[in-house]
Amino acid sequence: MAEKQIGKILYTQEDITRRAKEIGAQIDKDYEGEEVIFLGTLKGSVPWLVDIMKYTTVPSSVDFITASSYGSSMTSSGVVKITYEPAINMYKKNVIVVEDIIDTGNTLKYLLAKLEERGPKSVRVCSMLNKEPRRTTNLHADYVGFEIDDLFVIGYGLDYDQKFRGLPYISYIEGDDVELL
């Protein structure tokens, strides 16, 4: 039996894999002969982080951080909470923060400021999705999977109230759709 499609599909598994391979190749080129730390933002970045790591060959390690401003809402509260800190030593290391989505940029701005306190050699951002229309900060990712409009997206790590992270595609839901979920 086929799984019920949730929302309107924006990007298929094939689209996501293709972009991960392209970005992985770019990271290999940018960091040739160097080591990187992939720092995934929990929980949404996990599928994208795994894909990026599968398609890079540079020596790497991985750690995680949890920072959020959404809770159970479809819009950001504006208050960033860090509930899990990375354990890995970042001093004089190349760090690539792997995000599921950059929306307003407030959470990422806060996170990057906290990471700079650890004295990394470099910090870059790899985001699966970039939602520029909602940006309230002057932040830009170094590696972007896809640019999207001001949509509420789910799937491939992205959730609505902790649901739908496991969808093998990225789709979007509109206000009326939420009642059906």
Q: Which amino acid is at 58?
A: V
CA distances from 27 to 124, 136, 141 (A): 10, 27, 13
Contact 181, 172 (CB under 8 A): no
Residues marked as catalytic? 103
| Burial grade of 146 (CB within 10 A; 0-12, 13-18, 19 or more) | middle
Sheet holding 8-11, edge to edge: 8-11, 170-173, 152-154
Burial 40-58 (b: 16+ CB within 10 A, else e): bbbbbbbbbbbbbbebbeb
* SS3 label, residue 29: helix
What span, in angstroms and rounded, lies between the C-alpha atoms of 60 and 168?
26
